[in-house]
Structure 1
Amino acid sequence: MTFTLKQIRYFVAVAETGSITEAGRRLHISQPSVSAAIAELEDRFKVDLFIRHHAQGLSLTPAGARLFKDARSLLDHAEELRQGAVGLGQSLEGELHVGCFQTFAPIVMPRVIRAFAAAHPAIVITLHEHHVQGVVDGLAAGQFELALTYDLNLTEDLAFEPLVAMPLHAVLARNHRLAREKELSLEQLTHYPMVLLNLPQSRDYFLSLFSSRGLRPRIAQETPSFETLRGLVASGDGFAVMHSRPASQQTLDGRPVVYRPVKDKIRPQSLGLLRLMRIRPTRRSEAFAAVARAELRQNPA
């Protein structure tokens, strides 16, 4: 036995007005549409809901009167559900899940979240840190509404808004032989061992920068951790290449590193906002995007 809220709404309107014609006027629909809905309900429920009075309208049968009470309650609950569903998308309170590429999450997210909390204290941010592919997978799985990440290997079903251009830098120990140079080429770097960020897509991306120029770096260490990478660079004579550049040039164990621009013609990675194109953004996610936009463009990572 199936029925629709539209049919129940028509039934309630007829019960309240006592007239098919008046119910149609109230609902702004045709009289035949109302009559068809009532007839279908009676057929589905196997009971007469109204007594038809010639030229005097309709009145509820005992069964119709019982149904009327429940039908009104059902419509009230449906309206509560509608308002709640609207709130899911339009309310500026509640919880917002945000994804972020893990290498620059500690660089940009604390200040973005701090600025967002000041602007929208009724919204609680839940942060999800992933590698590049993990960010895309998390969006597809509905784990979060939007993310801050790089424009790396994006597919057509994703909408990306670039915010900050992140040029490539070499990371070196302060006492490295190349640290005195103002800028470096990838060819210069290949004379020294490399510490490679080993994350899905990131690893292949960094190696492709060398291979596309006929270069083959000598990989000494690999790590999925941005801070471990910097620590390994600081404690040896190797190098790393990164787009993310934190404000501090000191590793977690207190050793200094330096950053030098790579002078090869390499397109900067864009740090920006990513979402699924087919999903309409909520007011909460739009509010977060506005804060991230203002914060990062004013003070790039």
Structure 2
Amino acid sequence: MALTLRQLKYFVATAELGQLSQAAIHLTISQSAVTSAIKELEDSLGTQLFVRTASGVTLTDTGRRFLNHAYTILASVDEAMRIPNLESTLTGTLAIAASYTVLGYFLPHHIQRLNALYPRLTIQLHELNRDAIEEGLITGQYDMAVLLTSNVSNPELALEPMIHSVRRLWVGAHHALLKRESVTFAEVAHEPFVMLTVDEAAQTAMRYWNETPWRPNVILRTSSVEAVRSMVANGSGVAILSDMVYRPWSLEGRRIETIMLLDAVPAMSVGLAWRKNKELSPAMHAVREYFRHTFMEPRASG
């Protein structure tokens, strides 16, 4: 089995963070994807890179030596992408629309990297809700969008999901549910629930709640992720949100823990969108290839 850059990126993130779950959150992918990539890497090398412990993972002696090689390989690839060719000659303006969650928790880092790769390309960002983004793409007001593709069903748009961020139950640091071996919607339904509303989060939540006989005991609806974080950390309620927006501390410095629910909860998918049958400009193609290279697992549709 051939070694891949995806495996190296996942290995480095796990080595640096010491936990598969934290690496998954950092990479905005599922923990199972990290686990599978590391197992594939260990199988390819024929040796164990990590020792699994109750608190996470630690590098073996071989793993520590391999980490230095992984750093070198990834740095070389990053340097190769900066070789003057398209990066130095690509010019123009690209209008990219993005939804609130994507712009707040995902896109800025990648815009910074795109600006470094293509210094003569001007990227214009526009924050909008999904309906406005879809209309703008169809009418040609925006070239591309980065949004929650899991919310889009417009047949006039081409979609390319990039990441699938797992949704988990958020609870305060000393919540009783942390002592359970497994947690279900039936148990969550008895808890005060804080419902996020931005980017159609409430509608999405009710879709998967409606597949159960239970309903959330909503005590607050808010468009503020920080308000949800504070309410949960203070012990006033629980929430179900994606790893992409998870941070372990509230603004007050109180801890938030996550629990994987036993019941199925759909992941939050983030990706690119553009008008179907639109010929991709060189700038659009460059952005698309950047994200494909970064996440290694493009899933095109439309």
TM-score range, shorter chain: 0.5 to 0.7
Deviations 1:135-163 (A, max 9, x none): 32332343421122222241111111121
Deviation at 1:180, TM superposition (A): 4.2
**Helix, strand or coil: the match of 2:198?**
coil
> Who wins on radius of gyration, i.e. which is larger?
1
Q: Distance in 1 between matches of 2:181 and 2:294?
A: 29
Indicate how the Cα distance of structure 1 residues 144 and 167 shifts in structure 2: closer, same or farther if over 3 A, else same: same
Q: Structure 2 stretches of 5 or more lacking a match?
A: 1-88, 298-302
Contact 2:208 2:266 in 1 (8 A): no
Contact 1:162 1:273 in 2 (8 A): yes
Contact 1:182 1:261 in 2 (8 A): no
Which residue number in structure 1 is paired with residue 107 of structure 2? 109
- 1:147 maps to 2:145: yes
Superposed counterparts of 1:2-21, under 5 Å:
none
Contact 1:164 1:297 in 2 (8 A): no
Deviation at 1:218, TM superposition (A): 1.0
Contact 2:159 2:271 in 1 (8 A): yes
Which amino acid counterpart does residue 294 of structure 2 have in structure 1?
Answer: E
Q: Distance in 1 between matches of 2:134 and 2:181?
A: 36
Q: Distance in 1 between matches of 2:186 and 2:123?
A: 43
Contact 1:149 1:272 in 2 (8 A): yes
Contact 1:185 1:263 in 2 (8 A): yes
Indicate how the Cα distance of structure 1 residues 107 and 182 shifts in structure 2: closer, same or farther if over 3 A, else same: farther
Give the superposed CA RMSD. 2.4
Deviations 1:94-143 (A, max 9, x none): 32221223123222212211221121111122222233334323323434
Which amino acid counterpart does residue 273 of structure 2 have in structure 1?
Answer: L
Q: Distance in 2 between matches of 1:291 and 1:200?
A: 25
Which residue number in structure 1 is paired with residue 172 of structure 2? 173
Q: Distance in 2 between matches of 1:258 and 1:183?
A: 14
Q: Distance in 1 between matches of 2:247 and 2:239?
A: 16
Q: Distance in 1 between matches of 2:228 and 2:287?
A: 30
**Helix, strand or coil: the match of 1:207?**
helix
Deviates more, 1:285-294 or 1:211-220: 285-294
Deviates more, 1:160-169 or 1:258-267: 258-267
Q: Distance in 2 between matches of 1:244 and 1:134?
A: 26
**Helix, strand or coil: the match of 1:104?**
helix
Contact 1:197 1:225 in 2 (8 A): yes
Which residue number in structure 1 is paired with residue 119 of structure 2? 121
Contact 2:101 2:199 in 1 (8 A): no
Deviations 1:211-270 (A, max 9, x none): 221111111111112222222222233111112434631223333212222221233232
Contact 2:156 2:276 in 1 (8 A): yes
TM-score scaled by length of structure 2:
0.62
Indicate how the Cα distance of structure 1 residues 189 and 98 shifts in structure 2: closer, same or farther if over 3 A, else same: same
Q: Structure 1 stretches of 5 or more lacking a match?
A: 1-90
Indicate how the Cα distance of structure 1 residues 144 and 260 shifts in structure 2: closer, same or farther if over 3 A, else same: farther
Which amino acid counterpart does residue 102 of structure 1 have in structure 2?
Answer: Y
Q: Distance in 1 between matches of 2:243 and 2:147?
A: 11
Deviates more, 1:104-113 or 1:135-144: 135-144
Q: Distance in 1 between matches of 2:132 and 2:154?
A: 14
Q: Distance in 1 between matches of 2:128 and 2:169?
A: 23
Which residue number in structure 1 is paired with residue 248 of structure 2? 249
Q: Distance in 1 between matches of 2:182 and 2:281?
A: 44
